Amino acid sequence: MKITDIRAVYPNYRQPLGGWRPYLWQIVVRVETDVGVTGYGYGGGGVAAVEVVNRHLRELLLDERCDSPADIERLWDKLYTASIPYGRGGIAIMALSGIDIALWDLLGRAERQPVYALLGGMSAPRIRAYASGDDAEWFAESGFTAHKVPFSRSVDASTFERAAAAAEESRRHLGADALLMFDCYMAWDAATTREMARTLAPYDIYWFEDVLTPDDLDGLAALRPQIKPILLAGGEHDFTHYRFADIARAGALDIWQPDVTWCGGITATRRIIAQAQEAGATVILHRGGEPWGLHVIAGTECEALGELVLGNRNRSHEQLWLDEPQPVDGYLTPSDAPGFGLRLNEALLD
């Protein structure tokens, strides 16, 4: 089949978006073909990425064939190369991610197969989910057995006491056997991380996430052995397999966390997973409980642990994608419908 049109749009988000997100959150990409099959993708980069897709990358895809995974890989390489002068990371690769995901959805719909089958998966497994947020009691009531605590406020005299209290609350509600992680979002330095490892030692923490900035690979590599048995995780702000090769060479992280909608899509994520296997690292996707992440988990050697960013029981969530898999007793199962098995909520595109 030939690609006849491709368009990106920034949804009309109605829920307030904080920080950098109001104009730079997720985009929708639609790819149309000469056989009447349409694929839908999800990328980052906001209004800037929409311009990258519609004003540059679109023209490179018109009349291209998309009949196999090899075609998608070829198109990924073409778009990456064309965007090198202003890309290689950031918004350009977030835009490419949305296109790539749309092409995988397109191929799955055309072949009447779920994306995980195109990736080599044989069936849709139950995937353990972990809840990110600050409502441990609700997560336990909902059946989750894994919890990531957001802990990104600036460091002050109460920081370690607050961290211990958060860990204590999570353990009280979810129990001693639950997985417990901390997301620092680049708010700590090396000394804080070492002291936090000592403070939280009684709580059996699985990983610390994003403790330093992603540019400080040497600092991360030096810190890894100093906080054992806690593992060092990161990678959501890193792009493509080229950057993860740097992470591998530096030995910077125990757990790699590419975001499928940011790092270059499914094509780049597959390459990153292959690199991780060679480097002896574990891949646990950032926001891996979203549909594209679930299909990657089901179809590759990625660790079967999917993140759901839930916040707390009072937070509302916009339904941009209809028919998303919902957690049942703390587990998720990817759709076995063609593509990702989703419908787009067109009301949010008005």
In one letter, which amino acid is 136? A
Q: Tell me how far apart the alpha carbons of residues 136 and 173 are, in angstroms, rounded to a whole number.
A: 6
Residue 350 has pLDDT above 80, yes or no: no
Residue 152 pLDDT class (50, 70, 90 cuts): confident
- The Cα-based distances of 303 to 189, 275, 349 in angstroms read 28, 14, 34
- Catalytic: 237? no
Cβ–Cβ under 8 Å, residues 27 and 43: yes
Q: Tell me how far apart the alpha carbons of residues 180 and 164 are, in angstroms, rounded to a whole number.
A: 12
What number is the average pLDDT over the span 238-242?
Answer: 98
Which of 237, 241, 286, 295 does the annotation list as catalytic? 286
- The Cα-based distances of 166 to 17, 130, 200, 286, 308 in angstroms read 25, 16, 10, 22, 19
Q: Where are the alpha helices (DSSP H) in the chain?
A: 46-52, 58-61, 69-82, 90-111, 115-118, 136-141, 159-174, 190-199, 217-223, 240-250, 265-279, 291-299
Domains of the chain: 3-112 (3.30.390.10), 127-349 (3.20.20.120)
For the ranges 25-29, 143-147, 149-153, 166-170, the lowest mean pLDDT is seen at 149-153
pLDDT at 14 (0 to 100): 85
What number is the average pLDDT over the span 221-231?
Answer: 98
Cα separation of the two ends of the chain: 29
Percent of the chain with pLDDT over 70: 100
pLDDT at 210 (0 to 100): 98
Mean pLDDT score of the chain, rounded to an integer?
97
Residue 158 has pLDDT above 90, yes or no: yes
Give 286's contacts (C-beta < 8 A, 6+ positions apart).
235, 236, 257, 258, 259, 262, 307
| Angle, CA 323 vertex, CA 321 and CA 326 arms, to 5° | 105
